[in-house]
A and B are shown apart, each in its own frame.
Chain A
Amino acid sequence: MDIKEFIENFADQFEDTDASELHADTDFKALDEWSSLIALSVIAMVDEEYDVTIKGDDIRNNKTIEDLFNDVKSKKA
């Protein structure tokens, strides 16, 4: 798994937030556009792209995109 590609996939779930605003250390839940529907899109993206099931706690307990990436990576292993 590649963090750069993960950030790109993550950014695809947003409409108004430019991909250039998203980095490994971005606190994603603090983004203006973050919403419960984007959270669902991220869960669906992780399911489709990585075949990993993440739940509500995984979104709530991870702060940065990299934290979530590491979580997905460990679940995939």
Chain B
Amino acid sequence: MAFFSIPNVAIKGVSACVPPYIEENKDMPFYAAGEAEEVSKNIGVERRHLVRDGITASDLCVKAAEELISKLGWEKDSIDLLVLVTQTPDYLTPPTAFIAHEKLGLSKDCMVVDFNHGCPGWVVALSNVASILSRGDVKRALLLDGDTVSMGISKTDRESRPLFGDAGTATALEFDEGHTPIEFNIGTNSKDGNALKSIHGGTRNFWTLESLKNELDRREGLVEHNPVGDGMDSMSVFSFGITAVPKSIKNLCAKYQLNVDDMDCVLLHQANLFMLKKIAKKIHVDMSKVPTSLRDYGNTTSVSIPMTIVTQCANLLSTGHRNILGCGFGTGLAWAVFHFQTEGMVCPNILTY
């Protein structure tokens, strides 16, 4: 069982950056009168920031990281590890962390690595970064997490277009001897992985003229999206979310003697409001303790937990001692539950690129 408790690591701060262009759900052309408001009420999303004009996930992450490094007062040479999570890399090679490393002007002695992951990605990467820092050999790490999934979603896709937004974030972690452990439970349900899958363009099904044309036509809204086996099967993702997430949160709490009532907040991947409410109900936590960044930013995939920290929890986390429980879930399919304690985190205001 992938339960693990990692001592000696402090989460020092989180920052975020969004692209300037905003798409309002009420302006989407496929809605009848009043429909947009009804859907927004259910999914919790009113608008989303989307990339345009060649802005990439790494651009957003780098801007967020510069702000965080400056607010923390870190010397760039003191950063020994740079990790970047994305499913929308700048290039096929090298890993996008190398692009960010160069732009940030980090040291040659800094290790860099990418995580190709979807919605559970921030938590999975956090567990890896914390594991490396815990020994004390590597002292400081930056965890960048950015996605621009809107680029692959058609303007006519009634299901995905009103839901997903783009963003980039940076999380700073530091070796801190004696710091309370960060606890994780990470699990995998790969047999249902088809629920979130892009089957074309990789080496298994490299682009053919036909599949590429179909993909481009789909992005333009000229052909219908087929949810079975390619793209998102939202019903199956929902089934997974409302069953696996409450169960794994309960398992983590049982393993480490945690009580949901003792938490200052519960940070869930911002799948959609309907799903968050169902999960909250099953773990018996009031929605007032489940912050959401859905309304103004949408579902920002793996970025949604750090986005929610920056936009909804900055006051809470920058003051006093806090207990935070949460779960990233989706792509894999996988879940990744965490519990950490913080003291005076640095959370600068969200930036616009």
Q: List A residues at the B interface (Cβ < 8 Å).
A: 36-37, 39-40, 43-44, 47, 53-57, 59-60
**Which of A37, A44, A54, A56 has the most B CB atoms < 10 Å from its CB?**
A56
B209 at the interface (CB under 8 A from A): no
Asked if A53 contacts B274 (CB within 8 A), the reply is no
What residue of chain B has the Cβ atom nearest to residue A37's Cβ? B42
How many A-B pairs fall under 8 Å by CB?
45
What residue of chain B has the Cβ atom nearest to residue A54's Cβ? B239
* Chain A residues, Cβ within 8 Å of B286: none
Chain A nearest CB, measured from B44 CB (Å): 12
How many residues on B have C-beta within 8 angstroms of the other chain's C-beta atoms? 20
Tell me whether chain B's interface is mostly helix, strand or loop, or mixed: helix
A38 vs B218: C-alpha distance when bound (angstroms): 25
A54 vs B238: C-alpha distance when bound (angstroms): 10
B239 interface neighbour in A36, A37, A47, A60, Cβ under 8 Å? A47
What residue of chain A has the Cβ atom nearest to residue B246's Cβ? A47
Asked if A47 contacts B235 (CB within 8 A), the reply is no
B303 at the interface (CB under 8 A from A): no
> For window 191-237 of chain B, which residues contact chain A by CB distance below 8 Å?
192, 195, 227-228, 233-236
Asked if A55 contacts B242 (CB within 8 A), the reply is no
Asked if B242 contacts A47 (CB within 8 A), the reply is yes
A47 interface neighbour in B43, B227, B228, B243, Cβ under 8 Å? B243
Could you list 12 A-B pairs, sorted by A, with CB under 8 Å? A36-B158, A36-B234, A37-B39, A39-B235, A43-B238, A44-B242, A44-B278, A47-B239, A53-B239, A54-B239, A56-B233, A56-B234
